[in-house]
Every structure is written in C-alpha cells, then in structure tokens.
Amino acid sequence: MAGEYAATMQAWRDDPSAFWLRAADAIDWVEPPKAAFDPSAGVYGRWFPDAVCNTCWNAVDRHVETRGDQPAIIHDSPLTGRQRIITYRDLAARVGAMAAVLKDFGIAKGDRVVVYMPMIPEALVAMLACARVGAIHSVVFGGFAARELAARLDDAEPALILAASCGIEPGRVIAYEPLISEAKRLAKVRPPVLYWQREAAPADLAADDYDLGALFAAALEEGRTVPCEPMKGTDPLYILYTSGTTGRPKGVVRDNAGHMVALAWSMRNIYNIEPGEVFWAASDVGWVVGHSYIVYAPLLIGATTIVYEGKPVGTPDAGAFWRLIAEHKVVSLFTAPTAIRAIKKDDPDGRMPADHDLSHFRALFLAGERADPASIVWAEKALGVPVVDHWWQTETGWAIVGNPLGLEPLPIKHGSPTKPMPGYDVVILSDDGEPVPAGTLGNVAIRLPLPPSCLPTLWGDEERFRSAYLDAFKGYYNTSDAGMIDDDGYVFVMARTDDVINVAGHRLSTGVMEDVLTSHPSVVECAVVGADDPIKGQVPLGFVVVRPGAEIDGLEAELVAKVRHEVGPVAAFKHVIPVPRLPKTRSGKTLRATIKKIADGETYTMPATIDDPEALADIEIAVTSRGATA
C-alpha cells in the first residue's frame, strides 16, 4: 500500500520499543517481554532481556496442531536423485529424537555443538534439536578444510560434533571423516563425533565416533523427545563464524528472542510470505542466508522451506531452479547474483524458464554480493517478476537495506538494494566520521543501537567486537562496506573497505590465504587480492615474492594445492603470480587496492604514500606477461 513504508519507518523512529514489542506478538513466549530493550545491558544495549522463550518451539512444536500434515521441509537432491518431504508432525518427532540423543551425550543448556553437514534435512534437525535443549550450535560450511574447522573447534569449544559422513559435489564425493579427524589433530578441543552415515561414503568409525543414524533411529522408534528448554531472550541460539580482516574467523553470536522477532517480521514484510506458502533460499546451511532463510524464518512463520542439494547449473542444467519452482510451487526464491550469472551464461536468452509453469512465482530476491544490473535485467526479462536486491551481513542476520514487498513494493533502481529497513539508521560517513552529503561515497555505518537479531558481541571476545565494529566511528556500527545514499534515500553498496573478498557469494578473508602462502618455505611475502570475475564476481589472485634461489617451477601448483588443502575448495584459489617485490606505503602497508586495479586492467593513480613506485611497474609487467601466456 502506498505510504506504508514511510509510515512504518516513522512508527519505528517515533518509538522503537513499541515497534518491536508489536512485532514480538508473532512469537509464542514462555514469558512475554515487558521491555523491548535495555540500553544499560551489553555493549550497546540488549533486546528482549526479560523474555523467556524457545526457538525450536516456535519453529516446530507450535505448528503441529494447526499444520501437522503440511510439508515443513522439502529436500530436493539432484546430486543423489532423491526427494523427501518432512511434514511439521514428522519434523517435531525427528527434532525430539535428535534432542534425546543430544541429552544422552550429556548436552545441556549453553553447551556448544558443531554441526558439519551438507544440504540434508538432518542438518536442520540437528540445529533445531540444539535450539530445543538450549545448546548453542555452530554450523561449519562443508567447503572449508580441516584447518578452518580446527580454528572453529578451538574458539567455540564444543562438547560434541554432529556430522554427516560425506558431502556430494558434482562429480565427486567428499568424505568428511578424514577432514574432521585432521581438524581434531590440529585442534586443542577434540569432542566426540556423531556421524550421520550416507550411502555414498559411510565413515569408518574410530574410538570416539558414533553412528548418529542408529542412535537417532532408536530414539525415533521409541518416540523419545525432550521438552523445550526455557531460554532467556538474550541467551545465544548460535555462533556463526565469518571472515574478517585477520586470519582468525569472527564468531558472530545470535540471540534467541531478537532473532525470532526480526526474522518473523522480515518474512511477512520483506519477502511477503504467508504461512503455508513455499519459500526457497538457494544457499547452504553453512552460511547466514541458510541459517536465517533455509532454517529459521520459514519455519518460524509456518511456511515450507526447500533444502536443495544441487547447483544452479550442471545438475543437470541451467533450468534446475525453474524446475524446482514449478514442481514445489515455490512463491519466492532467494539466491546470490553469482547463481544468476552462471545460469545466464548457459541460457543467455533466458529461454529455459518458459519450459516450466511459473505462474505462482512472485519474486526473486538477491543478496550476498553486489547485484550487477546486467544480471537483474536478464532475470527480470526471463522471469517476468520483480527482481529484488537486498543488502545484509552475517552480523545482522537479516536485511539492513531492502525492498519490503509485503509492506509496499518500492520502485526498483538497478544497482541499489533500495532503502533501510526499520531498526537500521543507515548513515554514510567520511573517514573522519562525519556524515557526508547525499550522493557522496563513504563508509556505510549504522547508528547504534543495532536492531533485534544483530550480533550483541563476538563469541568470547568483546574487545574484538568493539575494535572490529565500534571503534572506527563513535556511536556507530561500521559495516566495512563503502557506499552512498542518493537524494531519494536509496542506498548503494559498492565494495568492502577491508580485506574481505566475495567469491561466488561466499565471504572470504584474503588474510587467511596470505597466512597459508607465507607458511610455504619458498615464499617471502605475498598479497592476495580479489580480481574481477564474470561469474563469481571476484576470485582470489595471489602475488608472491619468492625466496632467492627457490625453485619456481611447480610453485604455483603447490601453492594452489596448499590453499585448497588448508582453507578449502570454496576459496577457489587458482592463480599465483610471482613478482620481485610488493608495492607498499612508506609505513610498510601493502597497496592491495592498487594491485587489484592493475589485476583488473583498470587505470590507477599513483598513491601519494608509495615507497617505491617501481614496484607497481613490476606488478604491471607480471600481470601483462601472465595475461599473454594464460
């Protein structure tokens, strides 16, 4: 309805507490919140500090009576050729049985449980079972290697790992047991592992390993369950690690109450989804999009969620997404622009959607990286529905800037994720922390307090939370994105201001890759930058200075293999360019932004602070001769 967006923003600005208390009506509470916000608690205040609740109850139990026979989860797996439907009634029984298994292993409120599973319903069941017993889950994406898993084990100190025996990628099966065993060797924290055995590659169980499927089946057979643990609104629901500037991942903490309230609000007002409808987020449970919009948000409102074990292309072709939408009556799809670029490459004229009945399909949502206008235009033409970009981060758990289709569809400007959502006072600041005029590029910041669902801190490291997000601009959360707001209030998000790169919608740290490269005996120093890529948006490119006398033949292959082994295949690290030296400022900081410009073939201005201008010429020569031989 016209004016609804402005009215909603005004209502939130006039009285944020009343606004969020009204939104809290969508949730079943053990004890409803009396106060929405306590400004004196935590680092910048805490949401719903006096509420008592359980997220599993809200996502599962409360729907059994009214929609027990409705599908809660549809698993569609072209990689195994299987499909499975789990109703809300089935889901309640499964989550109850999984929770009983957790209890048998002594898992109690506040314990951490690492979940290392691919796109199978058991990943969701495991997460919900943790929520049920009050354990804090930390899901690790299957594309990360052992060293990354080890870093998460040491930081979260879990009491248990719930794993699958394997993940399945096109053309290969990834056995998880060797990865987990190596991670346990590398880590100081070595919890028991419960393996969900999959046919494609069952795990050989060692001393401290258990057969999760067998334990679960017995609990299910006996109809075992455990009651939902009453949780304080501010108790953590999960920790999700994300990339920062340094090699050490940041453990983003998510509260129970604020998360539920914000997600339920977003499902209706941003995604325009009603209970009973089918919503599909084509991401992975290992990322924040998966946490929020594969698992929690659809289930919180009693919708049906799709768990897709496949790719946008190649499983079997670029029509896969449209086949699923038609077959399962999906009303809205959420994916990353990279998936659209991959589909567009195989179906440039956008003919494949016409092979399917998409009459019930209402909107395509994009996030995870900047949505390039060319992909949006292609999708609009091919699908004939609104293509809606929205911008958010692991840290927030839901959209900071978006287009609230359920409230009032705002006119779309290509290249902009549209306008701030309630709760987010988005401001563009100069490097000195001063607000800049409309249309001026600067640091995108959010005036404190952050709204419900946003991180209250980093796991076990409040100091790092302050220094990473709050210290740059007093009174603001620094998003580490650069952008601008135009005269109409539309926000444009252009690039990261730190050393995080975005590869196929996956957030990765160049610092992690640099650590791996410099640990090779032949490498003296290095710089990894995100070079432009037509499909993945960015791909990492490593520039290395090699030790005098070191063997250069075969070094690239060795370094590529090392990053794949230590960070994981998802880094998509494939190229290394040796250079005699790296360009630096006089204070010794590597000029990565300028190196990136050279790698992308863009013009650049000589940085005033450069120590040795010749070093830039070296990079140019190396990039050009690499291009000539590529």
Residues forming contacts to ligand COA in the complex (CB under 6 A) are 118, 142-143, 167, 169, 174, 283, 287, 289, 311-313, 336, 338-339, 342, 368, 504-506, 535, 569-570, 572
Residue 370 interacts with ligand AMP (CB under 6 A)?
yes
Looking only at residues 475 through 514 of this chain, which bind ligand AMP when binding is defined by CB under 6 A? Answer: 479, 481, 493, 496, 502, 507
Q: What letter does residue 249 receive in the DSSP assignment?
A: P
Residue 286 interacts with ligand AMP (CB under 6 A)?
no
Which of ligand AMP, ligand COA, none does 383 bind, CB closer than 5 to 8 A by kind? none
Stretch of residues binding ligand AMP (CB under 6 A), selected from 3-11, 58-66, 369-377, 468-476: 369-377
CB count within 10 Å of CB 71 equals 21
Q: In the structure encoding, which two tokens stand for residue 464, read together? A: 């790092």
Q: List C-alpha distances in Å: 477 to 118, 177, 429, 445, 456.
A: 33, 39, 11, 6, 11
Instruction: Kindly write down the DSSP assignment for every residue of 191-221, as one continuous string.
Output: --EEEE--TTSPPPP-TTEEEHHHHHHHHHH
Which of ligand AMP, ligand COA, none does 507 bind, CB closer than 5 to 8 A by kind? ligand AMP
Which of ligand AMP, ligand COA, none does 622 bind, CB closer than 5 to 8 A by kind? none
Residue 309 CB-density burial (10 A; 0-12 exposed, 13-18 middle, 19+ buried)? buried
Residue 442 interacts with ligand AMP (CB under 6 A)?
no
Using CB under 6 A, pick the residue from 128, 156, 263, 371 that binds ligand AMP.
Answer: 371
Residue 81 CB-density burial (10 A; 0-12 exposed, 13-18 middle, 19+ buried)? exposed
Residue 368 interacts with ligand AMP (CB under 6 A)?
yes
Which of ligand AMP, ligand COA, none does 169 bind, CB closer than 5 to 8 A by kind? ligand COA
Stretch of residues binding ligand AMP (CB under 6 A), selected from 13-21, 143-151, 366-374, 536-544: 366-374
Q: List C-alpha distances in Å: 189 to 133, 144, 256.
A: 22, 18, 26
Smallest gap from Cβ 293 to ligand COA, in A, equals 9
Residue 417 interacts with ligand AMP (CB under 6 A)?
yes
Q: Which is nearer to ligand COA, 5 or 176 (CB)?
A: 176
Smallest gap from Cβ 449 to ligand COA, in A, equals 27
Stretch of residues binding ligand AMP (CB under 6 A), selected from 30-38, 389-397, 452-460, 515-523: 389-397
Judge if the upstream peptide bond of residue 583 is cis by omega within 30 degrees of 0: no
Looking only at residues 510 through 539 of this chain, which bind ligand AMP when binding is defined by CB under 6 A? Answer: none
Residue 238 interacts with ligand AMP (CB under 6 A)?
no
Stretch of residues binding ligand AMP (CB under 6 A), selected from 38-46, 111-119, 278-286, 386-394: 386-394
Backbone CA torsion sign across 108, 112, 116, 119: positive
Smallest gap from Cβ 185 to ligand COA, in A, equals 20
Torsion angle of the four alpha carbons 496, 502, 506, 508, in this order, in degrees rounded to the nearest 10: -80
Interface with ligand AMP: number of residues (CB under 6 A): 19
Residue 288 interacts with ligand AMP (CB under 6 A)?
yes
Which of ligand AMP, ligand COA, none does 504 bind, CB closer than 5 to 8 A by kind? ligand COA
Q: Which is nearer to ligand AMP, 167 or 286 (CB)?
A: 286
- Identify which of 133, 148, 137, 61 has the alpha carbon closest to the alpha carbon of residue 103: 133
The Cα 47–Cα 38 span in angstroms is 7
Backbone CA torsion sign across 303, 304, 305, 310: negative
Q: Which is nearer to ligand COA, 353 or 505 (CB)?
A: 505
Pair 278, 328: CB distance under 8 Å: yes
The Cα 305–Cα 198 span in angstroms is 22
Smallest gap from Cβ 385 to ligand COA, in A, equals 18
- What 3-state class would DSSP assign to 30? coil
User: Which secondary-structure segment (H or E) carries 247?
Assistant: none
The Cα 574–Cα 556 span in angstroms is 8
Smallest gap from Cβ 446 to ligand AMP, in A, equals 12
Contacts to ligand AMP by CB under 6 A: 242, 288, 367-371, 389-391, 393-394, 417, 479, 481, 493, 496, 502, 507
